[in-house]
Chains A and B, each alone.
Chain A
Amino acid sequence: MSSTNLTRRSFVKASALAAGAAALSSGVATVSNLVASDKAYAADEVKLVHTSCRACISNCGVIAHVQNGRVVKLEGDPADPMSEGRVCPKGLSGIQALYHPNRNKYPMKRVGDRGGNQWERITWEEAIDTIADALMDMKEKTGLEGLLLSTGGGGNPQFFSPPRFRNFWGAGNVFEPGCAQCYLPRSYTMPLINGVGDTSIADSNCAELYNPNVSIDTYVMWGTGPAQHAPSSAGRAVVELRAAGTQTVVIDPRFTPDAARADVWLPVRPGTDVAMMLGWMRYLIENKLYDKDFCATWTNLPFLVDPSDPAGALLRASKVFSDVTAENEGYVYYDEASGKVAKAFALAPDNETSYHPALFGTFDVTLADGSTVKAKTAFTAYQEQAEEYTLEHVAEICRVNADDLEKAIRLYAECESGGISLGVATDQYPQSAQAAIGAAALDCMMGYIDKPGSPANSFPHSAESTVFPDGFMGTAPYQFQTPENITNRLGYVEHKGLGGWMHSHIPTILNAILTGEPYQPHIWIERSGNKMAMLGNSASWVDAFPKLDLIVHMYMYPTSFSTEAADILLPTAEWLETAFLQGRLYAVLLRQPVTNLFECIDETFIWSVLAKALAERGHVGMQKAFDPEACGSTPTYWNTLEEYYEFVASNVGMTWDELVAKAPYNDVEPEEYWNAPYEQAYKGLAQGRDGEPGDSAYAGFSGCAAGDIKDNPKKCGPYGDVMTYIGRHGAEKFDMPAASTEYLPMPYYREPEDIQEYGDDYPLVLTEGRIPYFHHGTLRNNPYIREIYPAPEVWISPEYAAEHGISNGDWVNVKSPRTDGLDVFSNLDTGEELTAEGQRIVADGVYGVAHVTEGIAKDCAYMERFWNPEFLEEGQDPRKSWTTCNMNVLTKNTGYYNPEFGTYTLRGINVKIEKAARPDGVWYEPTDFAPWLPQPSENTGGGAA
């Protein structure tokens, strides 16, 4: 080795070995084969900081080793009861992410045209003044509603920052590519059905899976792959379950690592999950495998359906009994003991023996007006709904083996403890609400609710420092928004489930930008990784950018969105630079800034800085946003970053310094946490207010009744009457106009549009799905990650590969009706094509590397989202960063959106795949990624210092 090529690496090693030789006792350090141990330095030089990862939504505990102000090593923190000290590839990549040479370091403004990727450094003051002046100018000229905000996965310490800012501003729209296509449908719908909560293992629910005191017989992972999305917490937990003897069923088009360890793998055809759910229901009913006592006593399945209601809402007691009015409205059931129709009531120790509801049947009901109708029970309605979904029929629709299907249902139904975790898969196509109802209703039918070993359980969450927007957890004394402002959110009247996160409907926003109807968005502030890689049919957005007056992008790195759209770039902080209080079962972790680089600022505080600038310019709402009296229980904005840190700590009643000294810690001790009363959650007597003795009724499930039911029978609601009510009235504090399409109370199967319209020419049904290296758009610029996964794998079957002359490892080209100009985003009112020009940019289709495997059905394919940051390097064509390997130019934001959430189609689209050559300019060889190796820099205190 010559001295001239003494690299940083070898220099570090040489010096470390000199220092380490004395410290190592075994003698191995006397030869040159080991790297430096940080323990080999004097121990007091390495500071261990307990923090919490945010490389994905799992938030695992991590210990950062900090030496001379720099993060030198990351390891798992055993204080986290969910990860137990484990850490995954994403978390392990935190240092390369933090010190990435391409960090956005300073605020920048665009020089030249959009797309040119030329930027000029500006001050924070200039950036904020420019945005604030533009906003005030827009407010004066066109009003408040031109504000458009967006967020997304990756680097988001505070998910609710955008709706919070919009609410203080007073009007406008917020979206993220996930939302209706990711988690909102489950998180909104499932608690309304099962009365407990969603069962998303990826979103750190399903605490029961971590419970050391219970054994779980059968765990159904439906459209979720914990080993892939969260190896260190959820994936780890499922490994332990299997080792302890839990039988698993995995429903996934892909043969995932969890599928490879499952007792039954059902490779469902993408887009057909609800047909399978109806098949499970039919089988449970036909074979009387449901939990009869739970269904009769604790669900709304015995309640009678109103035969005259167009959507099949439950019969209201006021229609039957003349003494029932709007003030004591309720549901009705047929009592088998008395032979009469009766009004349902909340059970209590002194009345439960008088409740004998018929679960099935159709009964004559004499209405208050004297007429008689025939009304069936909700369970009978379900029986009819599921009637056509025999095992054979489901096997045909879903392309699964009928024997495997039956085995899976029996594993699920014939066990003492278990249940379903519903993953993101079904959120990603327009059966999102239907699948959420279906999965939750199945668990209700089986009584797998608040039971030992059931994913649907009501364990408490430890404190977190989420900043909720006004109106989310209580309304501020000052009225920041009018009911009109709220109703005017784009697509909200039609898709009222979006209100769950205070978001708007993405295609309706795109339509508004392109047409100006019903009003024109003018200023867009976006905070996330790469909208061009995450939005469905993302090429359809290119035509939208010129319609915006100002586009601001805040993120840790430039992305395709920066170059395509942005006028101003704001540098945000990596997770190792931010603060957040994170509950993990019974433990409380503190994400804390380990360093702060360049002029980067925690995204959470950037909104505060902008709010302050608007307040100074006379925006009354933003002035009130700093006023504790006006905000009431809604958190105010902060004048300094330190004030934000104090807000974080205030969530557990501490000062920041106290919290830093104490965290991580257990909020309650594990024994106490796991000693949950299970059925007592609903069978226990309701607690009275303010320490008064409780009333005499059981707690029950009070959250599942429709808004007009004042005499709440407190049942969980597998028959989603509440959904129908929300479609007609909304869930705001005021009555909203009805949606034009009813929200139906039961799941129904609707075949994906692509397969109907384009199935002949595009023979493969494409799904996407998580891999352990990325969270949404993140880490494609991370050298060690890209070395492992340099290009998107395209999974195809050996049959398809042979027919098309494709070998494993070949590059392939993928096209869909969107890339080929057949399916163009069109005016939602007139049907006129709007984005043909933008979609023509991707007419060549996209590219990936063939993975020929038995692990995908012969008429299906799999490709995960991808983009190529290498094209943002000097001298490259930045547009290629999102047009080359990006499966989201194939996906579908056109056609049918489901009524509840307006979900569009990311999975279950049709494509064709052919052999191709590797596209020019794609980095693929390991050493290609060398320019992205970390370049550590000093703690500057960041841009807020």
Chain B
Amino acid sequence: MSAQLPPNLAANPRLSRWLRVSRDGFVELSPGKVELGQGIVTALAQIAADELDISLHRIRMVQVSTGSSPNEGTTSSSLSVEQSGSAVRYAAAQARSLYLEAAAQRLGVAPESLSVEDGTIAGPGNLRTSYWELADDNLLARDATPGVAAKAPAARRLAGTPAARLDLPDKVFGRPRFIHQLALPDMLHGRVLKPASPGAKLTSLDEAAARAIAGVIAVVRDGSFTGVVAETETAAEAGLAALRKGAAWGPGDALPDEANLSAWLKSQPAETTTVDERRAAAPAQVARTIRRQYSRPFIAHASMAPSCAVAQWTGADKVQVWSHCQGVYGLRIDLALALGLPQERIVVHHLEGAGCYGHNGADDVAFDAVLLARAAGGRPVRMQWSREDELAWSPMGAAMAVEIEADLDAQGEILCWRGEVWSNGHVSRAGRAPIPTVLAASHLAKPFERFIAFNPPMANGGGAERNAVPLYDLPALKVTCHRLLTMPIRTSALRTLGAYANVFAIESFMDELAAERGEDPLAFRLRHLKDARARAVLEAAAKRAGWGAWTKRDGVGHGIGFGRYKNFSTYCAVVAEVEGAAEIRVRRLVVAVDVGEVINPDGVANQMEGGAIQATSWTLKEAVRFDRVRITSDTWETYPILRFSEVPMVEVEIIARPEEKAIGAGEAAHGPTGAAIGNAVCNALGVRVRDLPITRERIIAAMA
């Protein structure tokens, strides 16, 4: 029995907001979390089907919209299974018990005497009814109440078994599913001209050539925001090209020197906080101190689909928006702020986009669509960013410098650990700030100030300081974070926030300390870890990878990395095997993971494989490039990502713990994978690369 409702259900207690039973033999499930390509919809359907005792195909997922869907905030931070899953499970359990009460009344028996099999309710003798026969919206038109018992983990039939993704058939047959495929009646096409560089103002605009193009309906300008609306995409593209020719731009903001990013990060005005501090019980004699600095560059989301949105004004002050955003309610807040409209005048519907790894251009393009659609006479406008827009104008994952210093005793044992992080904030999401954070809000004639990204509180895992505190048992430590108060390159949430760089730094440093003592890196870690679940993933990854049986060969190396995401969520350890001289190839990654209770084992495996492969791409290849004026990495040639021929073999071992809370898998692999690769490169070549990405140039420089 639970004495309290799950938080997301307590915030949205009306059961009918979550579930509806249909006479036609299915249950509509309406969570507030959205599909980002991660498979969450399938996992939530599994949970609901389990509690209701129906088969998975009877669940129909309802589109997430403001107004009708429960407000579950942003779909982020690997929290959906934990937050939405617990709410869905509870709502479904209570719906089941309400339907059983109704069945008991109809059949004239006690509810306890009834059982449910795929929606059919059976009682003593041949008594039978079903959810479908009893379907009545009034039954769920009430608030959830505490005290309902959900099934015990052992009694669940679907959770813990692999389920096929509900969205996949549409995608392999090319049926409309993505927002990019939305075709509304009378829909027009929009394109927006991005400024010549960040912060540049539009000084003059000759609109005549754009207006003269056949099919162009309108040219929109509001300060430095300008775009075209046209009958076809081809006409919109031609209109955009004409606008570009007719536009003159002033100077923009100076960008940092990409060759000296760490020095730049350390030189900026910053807000400094102590993340954690633990003093030693007794003072000890420091024999020597080792200090190392690690860094990561700005990283792009580089989603496969350039951002897209559709907007339609249905009156002077009423607008409808279709968006692949991570949170319909958050986007609505930002749009209301930017437009000066009450929120109730705006409806935001979610439709799937391509894989989303954090705060990308989805919200920005939605505001673009809204601004253009004002000139469309009530017709819907589909606004599509270009590949260049997507790579250069989406918020970036923040560059970071991480310095770690350890006091050692005469035997090389750690006496004190000091870590320092310099970074922009990692969150400037829509709906979180008193001013709108959508890109074009700062381009308007009456511009909003550019919002400087902040870090979420440590209770939520922190931002730049996420995973900056090592999980290892250390006698004393101090970790400090410097959040930049300038933001020439716009940053916001990218998968793992600061955890990728912090885990890379900590785990690289652990290897360096082990090497100082001539100790095996795995043994050194285990000697500093009491947490049994942490030890279990390290031991599982090492065993499967044959860590102990490794024989050293020329140009081949192995390395290990570990992290517990946010220090309170998923445990993950990775062993990497690499080969190469200067050009590194990752051959194999062995990933061991503990996500507590596993809802969809294949979903977890898929997330871990994907996370490990994406982290390999970040670690070997990725850096946002820029000169002092603009982002220059705006094509797949200038922002290369890992290709099929470069992808390592990935093996995933899941340590199932049905008795533990289910937690998210989406971000656990990145830090450990990056660290394992860095350590494997050092093992193979004898040189340590501390600045990401580990490119040919960096390796050659480290060898010199």
| Chains A and B come from one and the same complex | no
Query: Which B residues lie at the A interface, using CB under 8 A?
Result: none
